[in-house]
Structure 1
Amino acid sequence: MNHFTQTIGVNGARLTGFLSDAGRGASTGSVLVVPGGGYMTLSPGEAEPVALAYLAEGFHAFVLHYSVGAEATFAQALEDAEAAVAEIRLHADEWGVAPRRLAMIGFSAGGHLAASLGTVGTNRPDALLLGYAITTDITLGAGREYPPVVPHVGNGNPPTFLFATGEDAVVPVRHTLAFAAALDEAGVEFELHVFRDGPHGLGLARPREGATVAPPAFAEWFGLSVRWLRRRWC
């Protein structure tokens, strides 16, 4: 495994890469991880652990440390996401990455950022994976509002894998269902999984110190997402 971190874009964002030894070249897909945190911080459990899980499945994996905090704006975060996708594709030959097999997975506010890039961005990923993502009107962090994504969904959106829980009280499941309905209306391929049990922010739902005990069923989203990506790219 080749592991590195570098600064990208104009806002000082960081991109951490984990390049797989299992496969390099034109057919090797990549997953760019965008952690949540309400645009105020970045959730550790939705960052490196997710990237390393995809790495173990033979994908190249990256984590985007985008602009967050009281002084950061959504526009800056979107610039960071654009820069990350552009950087990965720019170094495709050097890193052994397939430039058109790049998936972006975002959680919560990170899901909002990923969905925004996939919907209105210039450098869009080739597939989206959205975990309990914000997609409709909501107020986060310091009372700031962030633009809803659903009204802008169109046939240019990439295929999308969505997962959420019915018990999420922070980002209700209606966000996921609304995005799925918009994709359906636009004729965009998607796969949707709504698990009955589980609070917000479960990530991989694997045991870790201080973490909420996760319902075992929710952890199935990861294997389902791997199979979904492999069906698309193999």
Structure 2
Amino acid sequence: MAGPDETLRLNRRNLLGAGLAVSALPALARAQTAPPTTGKPQASGLPQPVETIDLWPKGAPDAPRVPLVETVNERSTDALVTDRAVFGISRPRMAVFRPDRPNGAAVLLMPGGGYKWVVVDKEGYEMARWLAARGFTAFVLFYRLPGEGWASGPDTPLIDAQRATRLIRHRAKDFAIDPERVAAMGFSAGGHVCASLSTRFAVPVYSPVDAADKLSARPACAAPLYPVISMDPAIAHAGSRALLLGSKPSPGQEMAWSPDQTVPADAPPHFLLHAEDDDAVPVENTLRFHAALRERKVPVEMHLFTHGGHGFGLRKAIGKPVEAWPDLWRAWARTTVLG
């Protein structure tokens, strides 16, 4: 009879085998709404997603009265480096990056954009490629923006994040994923989405639509990176706060949508990262969240860097001490169920 360690190895071997079989399927056959695109040719040599998962089979709930037009802006003038941002998202979806050799773990990525848009490349596809190269199945979430007229208001991005987590678990076999090894990672305003998910995963914010919604939305671990956390005007990112809560939120609203105020005792382990010279989202956001997690005795690791600014992702970290952050996350992740 196999012992626990051997059973674990066998389970992982089965997952790997299943992943290779699934990856052989025509990816385009699974594509639903296409990933956001400008229609312009992309730099050669970089994997682009050909597989997407729509979050809502019958359309997203709480739709605005005036239909949105999805728009993708290219902000880069370099033909070899794309920097796209998308807004008017009415079909929230995940772009999937499958690894050649899946390790059985998944990461749901929530890019930033100040709740004005969702960036595509810098905190989405670039990080997804890095993760896939290391065996993780990466899902880049294009979530709906709270200031675009959705009736669910400030809960709109969280609704999509909860639904996305449940869908990944529901389709775990399709991707050779262990449903208990689904992590969350978010950047800037996407860090607020990530932290909202990791603290309010059990809050019912939408009506169930299918069997996936019977599953837990709690991520196995969470990494909100240089995140928008507090809605306290003293340290809040003003643009994100206004688009999330409007121009004059009440103190109660500020508290309800500040993840440092909503940490449950069963929150997952957290990895926090911030540059102290961040002039867009003050480092106090991460410091407050770290203190709140510690107060609730939630496992947390925090890394602060003197220099790095805001929104460094991978590309803007090159040549700086903060360049080490992805490897720090990977070393920390090995101490969690991601292994």
TM-score (norm 1): 0.90
What is the match of residue 99 of structure 2? 20
Matches within 5 A, 1:5-84: 5-9=52-56, 10-11=59-60, 12-23=91-102, 28-43=104-119, 44-68=121-145, 70-72=147-149, 73-84=153-164
What is the match of residue 196 of structure 2? 116
Partner Cα distance (1:145, 1:40) in 2: 10
1:144 aligns with 2:246: no
RMSD: 1.9
Partner Cα distance (2:175, 2:185) in 1: 20
Q: Identity over the aligned pairs, expressed in percent?
A: 34
2:116 and 2:243 in contact (8 A); partners too: no
SS at match of 1:175: helix
2:146 and 2:244 in contact (8 A); partners too: no
Distance 1:93 1:185, change over 3 A: same
Deviation digits for residues 42-71 of structure 1 (CA, Å, limit 9, x no counterpart): 123000101110111111111000012741
Q: Mark the runs of 5 or more structure 2 residues left unpaired by the alignment.
A: 1-22, 28-49, 61-90, 203-216, 246-256
What is the match of residue 209 of structure 1? none
SS at match of 1:199: coil
Distance 1:93 1:145, change over 3 A: closer
Partner Cα distance (1:36, 1:116) in 2: 14
1:197 and 1:215 in contact (8 A); partners too: no
**Matched letter for residue 130 of structure 1:** P
Q: Which has the higher strand share?
A: 1
Partner Cα distance (1:81, 1:230) in 2: 24
Give the C-alpha shift of residue 148 in structure 1: 1.1
Q: Mark the runs of 5 or more structure 1 residues left unpaired by the alignment.
A: 207-211
Matches within 5 A, 1:1-234: 3-9=50-56, 10-11=59-60, 12-23=91-102, 28-43=104-119, 44-68=121-145, 70-72=147-149, 73-122=153-202, 123-137=217-231, 138=236, 139-141=238-240, 143-146=242-245, 147-204=257-314, 206=315, 216-232=320-336, 233-234=338-339
Equivalenced residues, count? 225
Partner Cα distance (1:134, 1:142) in 2: 9
Partner Cα distance (2:156, 2:115) in 1: 11
TM-score (norm 2): 0.63
SS at match of 2:118: coil
Deviation digits for residues 141-177 of structure 1 (CA, Å, limit 9, x no counterpart): 5933442111111211110000010000111100001
Partner Cα distance (1:214, 1:91) in 2: 35
2:227 and 2:281 in contact (8 A); partners too: yes
Once structures 1 and 2 are overlaid, which stretch shifts more, 144-153 or 222-231? Answer: 144-153
Distance 1:213 1:165, change over 3 A: closer
Structure with larger Rg: 2
**Matched letter for residue 187 of structure 1:** K
Deviation digits for residues 163-195 of structure 1 (CA, Å, limit 9, x no counterpart): 010000111100001111111110111110001
2:94 and 2:142 in contact (8 A); partners too: yes
2:146 and 2:157 in contact (8 A); partners too: no
SS at match of 2:141: strand
Partner Cα distance (2:191, 2:275) in 1: 14
